[in-house]
Amino acid sequence: MFIIWLITFLLVLVTLLPLSRNSHWTIRGMDFPRLQFAVLAVLVLIAQLVWLDLERVSSWGSIAAALLCLGYQLWWVLPYTPLWRREVRNATNSQRDRQLSIMTANVLTPNRNSEALLALVKEYQPDVLVTLESDHWWQQQLDVLEDSMPFTIKCPLDNLYGMHVYSRLPLEDAQTTFLVESDVPSMHALLRLPCGDKVRVHFLHPAPPSPTENPESAERDAELVMVARSIEHCDQPVILTGDLNDVAWSSTTRLFRKISGMLDPRIGRGMFNTFHADYPFCRWPLDHLFHSSHFTIETIERMPAIGSDHFPLFTRLVYAPVKAALQDGVEADEEDRHRAKAIMEEQNVRASDVPEPGR
């Protein structure tokens, strides 16, 4: 019974600690395995009902604690299941000139299985390929795509933060910037759809909070929030994609969605866990695509493995601005705006530092 009490205590601890919003990686890391914590809570409840003396008040207190932990963890993850109302509507217009397909792939720098990624590009024929962790070697392999994807943005780096964009569609006013950290790039451009409309696109890969990277999430959080603030009052169609090193259901990602007003096509559809490719029982959604309400969705799927620790993510959107009024996400309140301001002030960054292509 001591083991049951101990595990219950630990379950309560990992549930409560993230409420502190402490940015240390040991705390922020508890945002990631919320689904696993929910499963643990179910197992703890079963063990409590089987092994504890249900005539004791303390046993029911322990059961109540596990139930509250289960409910809290499910509150975060259930929106990313088919049990929830979909935030983004299914596409009803199949006009090719209004479609936009994007493949986002963290290739893992030491990975040398470029053939697997190139085979997926050939099979899926995305309009845009975004790669993260791509260095000079990866650039040499990917440059074969330029015959069919001639519009590119390239920033090969050997520090796990290289980025590349290959596009069939024209990219205008393309810029590579270092928003928060001097060695962590982001890319920004204006993409022209075949129908003539232009879409503002942002590609991000902020550094994660971890013992080997940044000890705190402050840098990552600041990059997400400053981009959100730059998008907040934008009336252009906008898409943001990349490996955000944050899970879809974290408080920071939710803050990004609230401030930016962007939608998450996974809500009501699934988690689409892209990391870790090698451990089926330890996966969460680290690779994201968010978009403004100008788009509906035709498909979103996790793609086959390419030898990386991430699965690529493939999304096909349809530009349908008439649907904008019919779709909405989460909204920011005054507390959210104060929190966003504090996060940026801590890193001394401003929303105006973010490029705004087309403006």
What pLDDT score does 246 carry? 96
Distance CA 272, CA 263 (A): 16
Mean pLDDT across 100-117: 98
pLDDT score recorded for residue 163: 98
Task: Give the pLDDT mean for 37-66.
Answer: 94
Q: From CA 261, how far away is CA 234, in angstroms rounded? A: 10
| Token pair 């890391």 in the structure block, residue | 29
pLDDT, average across residues 210-216: 88
Q: What's the average model confidence in pLDDT over 62-80?
A: 97
Residue 72 pLDDT > 80: yes
pLDDT value for 199: 98
* 286 within 8 A of 275, measured Cβ to Cβ: yes
Task: Please say if the pLDDT value at position 359 is more than 90.
Answer: no
| Per-residue pLDDT reduced to its tens digit, 237-266 | 999 999 999 999 999 999 999 999 999 999
Please state which of the ranges 18-22, 132-136, 155-159 shows the lowest mean pLDDT: 18-22
Quick one: pLDDT at residue 125? 98
Q: Model's pTM, two decimal places? A: 0.95
* Residue 60, H or E segment: helix 57-77
How much is the average pLDDT of 332-353? 96
Q: Which DSSP letter does residue 55 get? A: T
Task: Please compute the mean of the pLDDT values over residues 275-281 and round it to a whole number.
Answer: 95
Specify which residues 199 forms β-bridges with.
191
Average pLDDT value for the chain: 95
Chain segment 281-330, per-residue pLDDT in tens: 999 999 999 999 999 999 999 999 999 999 999 999 999 987 766 788 89
Question: For the domain 96-353, what is the CATH superfamily, name and number?
Answer: Endonuclease/exonuclease/phosphatase (3.60.10.10)
Q: How confident is the model at residue 147 (pLDDT cuts 50, 70, 90)?
A: very high
CA distances in angstroms from 198 to 121, 195, 205, 213, 281, listed in the order given? 23, 9, 23, 36, 40
Which pLDDT value is given to residue 327? 85
pLDDT by residue (tens digit) across 153-190?
Answer: 999 999 999 999 999 999 999 999 999 999 999 999 99
Q: Please answer whether residues 310 and 233 qualify as being in contact, where contact means their C-beta atoms are separated by less than 8 angstroms.
A: no
| Confidence check: pLDDT of 354 > 90 | yes
Cα separation of 351 and 359, whole Å? Answer: 14
For the chain, what are the domain ranges?
2-80, 96-353
Q: Say if residues 158 and 65 touch (Cβ distance below 8 Å).
A: no
CA distance 244 to 184: 12
Pick from 181, 201, 188: which is nearest to 319 by CA? 201
Kindly report the backbone phi and psi dihedral angles of residue 160, in degrees, each rounded to the nearest multiple of 5, phi listed first: 75, 10
Local structure of 351: helix, strand or coil? helix
- Taking the C-alpha atoms of residue 40 and residue 289, their distance in angstroms, rounded to an integer, is 29
Instruction: Tell me the per-residue pLDDT of 81-92, one tens digit each, with 9 for 90 and over.
Output: 999 999 999 998
Which amino acid is residue 26, in one-letter code? T
210-247 as b/e: b if 16+ CB within 10 A: eeebbebbbbbbbbbbbbbbbbbebebbbbbbbbbbbb
Whole-angstrom distance, CA of residue 118 vs CA of residue 106: 13
